[in-house]
Structure 1
Amino acid sequence: MNNLNSNIFEYLYVLESEGLYLAEIKRNDLGEYAAIGEKFQWLRVEKKTWEISKLTFRSMDSSEEIEERYFEEGFLKFNLENGTYIEKYNSAQHALSNIGVQAAPAELHEHIKAMLLGNVLSA
């Protein structure tokens, strides 16, 4: 079994900037009647502290070339190679690389898994 796709969750997208990761995950540990907002989650992970916060999904737009996600906390626009995350009120803008699911570091996986299981790992 691939270490990056545990039975708890799998990555759908993983984007990285100098200071953070943005990842969309699909939880596999919830029942079939779980709310779609619980099954599919966008997470913001601070690299220095491994602090994980859930982004509040509002809407999305997709085309062949560009994906857009609107959150209460900001706006994400990305393609197969890179993207931009703009925080609400334009308080910060992050240039992102779309590193893909296979390039997601094991440490990221471990921290997300711990958060989903209610455990806390130290930075």
Structure 2
Amino acid sequence: MDLEMTAKQPNLAGKTPSTMPSFECLYYLENIYLLIIEIKRSDLAENAGKNQKFKWLKIDKENLDITTLHFISMDSSGEIEERYFEQGYLKFNATIGTFIEKYNSAQHPLGRRMDCSLTNTLQNTVADFLKADR
């Protein structure tokens, strides 16, 4: 299954609000086995909390299993971004990153994509996951 991102943003002309994505991808990091994205949900009430609107997701590319990374804190020092989760630690810059799992210390080198557009398959998988996560 090809999960490479499309080169351009999807054409939204003619789509109704019900078929438009219920989220926007903010960060996209990947390797051949997994991808980690941060999304901002657009299907929630204005007064929804940040922990509901913003989600970090770890996605297994082989079977499209999605795990929510439970955000604890972040640090940003110019070129380097760091995110701390219950499940591990993510450090990245404009081109590369590393995710270190908390419980088994596995390290996952990642490439960062500045274009966050998702394939239709991946977009639908994430949308279905978010519906079940309400």
TM-score (norm 1): 0.86
Q: Which has the higher contact order (CA 8 A, sep 6+)?
A: 2
| Alignment equivalent of 2:55, drawn from 14, 19, 41 | 41
CA deviation vs aligned residue, 1:83-121 (integer Å, no higher than 9, x gap) = 0000004531100000233453332222101211239xx
2:82 maps to a residue whose letter is: E
TM-score normalised according to structure 2 size: 0.80
Larger radius of gyration: 2
Structure 2: runs of 5+ lacking an equivalent: 1-8, 13-19
Partner residue, 1:64: 78
Tell me the amino acid that sits aligned with residue 38 of structure 1.
Q
Q: CA RMSD in A?
A: 2.0
> Relative to structure 1, is the Cα distance of residues 102 and 22 closer, same or farther in structure 2, using a 3 angstrom cutoff?
closer
**d(CA) in 2 for partners of 1:68, 1:50:** 25
Q: Which runs of 5+ in 1 are unaligned?
A: none
Moved more, 66-75 or 85-94: 85-94
The match for 1:118 is: 132
